[in-house]
Amino acid sequence: MNDRAGDVLEHIDAEACRRFQVAAELAGQKWTAAVLLSLARGAGRFTEVRHTVSGISDRMLSARLRDLERQGLVVRQVTPSVPVQIRYELSESGWQLIRALAPLVDWGQRWMQDDPAADAR
Amino acid sequence: MNDRAGDVLEHIDAEACRRFQVAAELAGQKWTAAVLLSLARGAGRFTEVRHTVSGISDRMLSARLRDLERQGLVVRQVTPSVPVQIRYELSESGWQLIRALAPLVDWGQRWMQDDPAADAR
DNA sequence: CTGGATCCCTATCGATACTG
DNA sequence: CAGTATCGATAGGGATCCAG
């Protein structure tokens, strides 16, 4: 612990904290991270994502994709062929979110204790 | 979108994703961010935290502090006076978490849309 | 002051079945 | 293929009261 966190804290006022809260809840919601990562790695079709995110149900995937689309993190493109093709991809903000999340992953590697309760999830 | 996220993704294997998931759930849990921030800003006593985190109940604050302590993010110190004084402070990993969260805060400032559902929370 | 214990309600999630 | 509808289980969280 060499430096204080003052340089960090000065950016974090109440409003920032609120926004952070929402962002963290979004990212922390079950399956969201996995779906985001799946898309980042190239999955585009509903079925592709479902297949790369093992264990997710149609219902949850559908819900998460809708949430992500609503927040503008994911773009849903419909190609009017027969049958219609749906493709999801990360938006700019989606990519940026993944980048913003990277330090958190590093933190996890370094500091996180194994959580017994995690097995239940 | 100048750069791809390949440099980010190569750090994110399945294990990292799992850790990330747990970290995100931890940070995304209701009140956790606010409590962390409160401590970072100098609150130490139970009542101080409760006062700076408006709207939190005793029960929740107690629960979150226990979680955080269990995860090693917060250290609980008991001073045996009459009455006993309890003081919470961030551990090293707690401070590092706050630093790791900073990019997410920035992301929120930059990209996050106002979420109507946030009002309900 | 610092919580623990209890009650209860709601949101969330999984499973299953069904549709354009 | 790409979802939606419905049901039931369960865990999270608020309110309130109580205790060391």
Query: Residue B80: helix, strand or coil by DSSP?
Result: coil
Question: What tens digit of pLDDT does each residue of B46-94 get?
Answer: 999 999 998 999 999 999 999 999 999 999 999 998 889 999 999 999 9
Across all residues in chain B, what is the average pLDDT? 84
Q: B105 pLDDT exceeds 90? A: no
Strands B85-90 and B74-79: antiparallel
Which of A33, A100, A121 lies nearest to residue B106, judging by beta carbons? A100
The Cα angle at residue B19 between residues B91 and A5, in degrees rounded to 5 = 30
Q: What is the model's pLDDT at position B2?
A: 46
Is strand C in 7 Å reach of the CB of A31?
A: yes
What pLDDT score does A12 carry?
A: 67
Q: Which range has the worst mean pLDDT, A5-19, A34-48, B14-28, B85-99?
A: A5-19
Nearest CA in chain B to A118: B22
- pLDDT tens digits, residue range A44-80? 999 999 999 989 999 999 999 999 999 999 999 999 9
Q: What is the pLDDT of residue A63?
A: 96
| Residues 57 through 86 of chain A touching chain B, CB cutoff 8 Å | 71-72
3 state SS of B78: strand
CB contact at 8 A, A45 and A38: no
CA A86 – C1' C8 distance (Å)?
A: 43
Asked if A24 reaches chain B (Cβ–Cβ under 8 Å), the answer is yes
Nucleotide nearest to B58 (CA to C1'): C3
Please report the domains of chain B, with CATH numbers, ordered by start residue.
31-109 (1.10.10.10)
Secondary structure letter of residue B119 according to DSSP = G
Distance between CA A107 and CA B80 in Å, rounded? 34
Chain B residue numbers with beta carbons less than 8 Å from the beta carbon of A106 are: 11, 100
Closest CB to B24: pick one of A5, A16, A104.
A104
Quick check: A120 pLDDT over 60? no
This prediction has a pTM of 0.85
pLDDT for res B116: 52
Which of B8, B26, B104 has its CB closest to that of A23?
B104
- Please check whether residue A11 is in contact with residue B106, taking contact to mean a CB–CB distance below 8 angstroms: yes
Q: Are A101 and B104 in contact (CB under 8 A)?
A: yes
Lowest mean pLDDT among A8-17, B6-15, B44-53: B6-15
